[in-house]
């Protein structure tokens, strides 16, 4: 019997040994050693299972994965332009709705997942992502955030942190901090004004089981959902590729990355450190911040403190206003 609406409920994982053993993202792809986005892709594919269709907007997770007529996906996958991941996924979902309803396909509504980078989510892809959320398609939109346009050689994107060195924001005499703009906040953009969205969460490769569970939770919701996943990029952020998890963890411990779920209007903050470490602990792990001076670091600290306060997370020391510097 064909079902036009998902009834599956993917179960959460409580123990590592219950992580499913099947892989739908097989090796041999040409991502860099230690690639953060590749790791989250593997975990997402594992969480979603075989009844899944991926949409891959142009980016590292397209070019590096499906290179030279090769493909690491053992589930259906389709390339989209970097501009239209949300739109193509909407079309696939609409097609499945009508095909299942008419009995032209058998089984359940598949999981439809957009795997977009930060640019394909909140820059050039923003329009399509927002429209998909607004129209209420049963699609999971994942933003794998490596905080830059990395595939084209590390250029700034709207999620690149203030003070980062990228090839479009190199530090110099006139612009000592490199990047002068503060980043957009993707999950807040989604939560802010899309009434059809019921579940938004942030995740990190630092906590893989949590990531798997959030993917499953999002897929179990019938309607549009959004996951913002932090994936450090060893080449773009300039750190030893063995340290990806350490960097991701430090982002959380300094407040540069916040872990939470938002469901039906309610926030659940997670992995909150008892005491936040100063952002300098995070910055010093990465070469892309090596040029920052005290004043810049203080500005970034103020930004983080304000962000935490907005979320209602208590901060030890009252934050000076970002304009003070």
CA distance 220 to 201: 14
H/E element, 268? strand 266-270
Q: Which residue lies nearer to other proteins by CB, 138 or 305?
A: 138
SS3 34: coil
Q: How far is the CB of 80 from other proteins (least distance, A)?
A: 7
Q: Which residue lies nearer to other proteins by CB, 56 or 186?
A: 56
Q: Which residue lies nearer to other proteins by CB, 202 or 244?
A: 244
Q: How far is the CB of 256 from other proteins (least distance, A)?
A: 20
Q: How far is the CB of 325 from other proteins (least distance, A)?
A: 27
Q: Which residue lies nearer to other proteins by CB, 100 or 300?
A: 100
Strand partners, 237: none
Q: Which residue lies nearer to other proteins by CB, 166 or 301?
A: 166
Q: Which residue lies nearer to other proteins by CB, 31 or 225?
A: 31
Q: How far is the CB of 137 from other proteins (least distance, A)?
A: 8
Long-range contacts (CB closer than 8 Å, 24 or more residues apart) made by 88-97: 88/55, 88/114, 89/55, 89/113, 89/114, 89/132, 89/137, 89/139, 89/141, 90/131, 90/132, 90/135, 90/137, 90/139, 92/53, 92/55, 93/137, 93/138, 93/139, 94/137, 96/4, 97/4
Q: Which residue lies nearer to other proteins by CB, 108 or 263?
A: 108
Q: How far is the CB of 163 from other proteins (least distance, A)?
A: 18
SS3 302: helix
Specify whether the CB–CB gap between 114 and 89 falls below 8 A.
yes
Helix 186-193 and helix 126-135: axis angle, to 10°?
40
Beta strands 225-230 and 52-57, pairing class = unpaired
Q: How far is the CB of 147 from other proteins (least distance, A)?
A: 16
Specify whether the CB–CB gap between 302 and 321 falls below 8 A.
yes
Q: How far is the CB of 13 from other proteins (least distance, A)?
A: 11
């Amino acid at each position: 019997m064909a079902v036009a609406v998902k009834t599956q409920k993917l179960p959460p994982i409580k123990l590592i040994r219950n992580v499913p053993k099947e892989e739908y993202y097989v090796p041999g792809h040409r991502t860099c050693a230690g690639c953060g986005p590749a790791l989250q892709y593997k975990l997402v594919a594992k969480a979603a299972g075989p009844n899944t269709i991926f949409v891959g907007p142009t980016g590292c997770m397209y070019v590096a994965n499906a290179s030279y007529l090769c493909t690491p996906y053992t589930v259906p996958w389709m390339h989209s332009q970097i501009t239209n991941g949300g739109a193509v996924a909407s079309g696939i979902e609409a097609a499945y709705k009508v095909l299942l309803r008419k009995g032209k396909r058998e089984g359940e509504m598949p999981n439809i997942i957009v795997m977009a980078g930060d640019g394909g989510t909140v820059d050039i892809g923003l329009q399509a992502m927002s429209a998909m959320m607004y129209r209420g398609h049963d699609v999971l939109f994942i933003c794998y955030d490596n905080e830059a346009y990395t595939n084209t050689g590390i250029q700034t994107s709207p999620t690149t942190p203030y003070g980062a060195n990228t090839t479009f924001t190199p530090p110099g005499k006139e612009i000592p901090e490199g990047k002068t703009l503060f980043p957009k906040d993707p999950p807040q953009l989604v939560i802010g004004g899309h009434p059809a969205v019921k579940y938004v969460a942030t995740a990190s490769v630092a906590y893989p089981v949590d990531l798997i569970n959030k993917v499953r939770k999002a897929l179990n919701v019938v309607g549009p959902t959004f996951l913002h996943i932090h994936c450090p990029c060893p080449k773009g952020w300039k750190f030893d590729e063995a340290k990806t998890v350490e960097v991701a963890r430090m982002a959380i411990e300094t407040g540069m990355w916040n872990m939470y779920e938002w469901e039906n209007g309610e926030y659940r903050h997670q992995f909150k450190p008892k005491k936040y470490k100063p952002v300098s602990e995070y910055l010093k792990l990465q070469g892309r911040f090596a040029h920052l001076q005290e004043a810049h670091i203080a500005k970034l600290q103020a930004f983080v403190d304000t962000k935490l306060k907005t979320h209602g997370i208590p901060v030890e020391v009252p934050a000076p206003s970002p304009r003070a510097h």
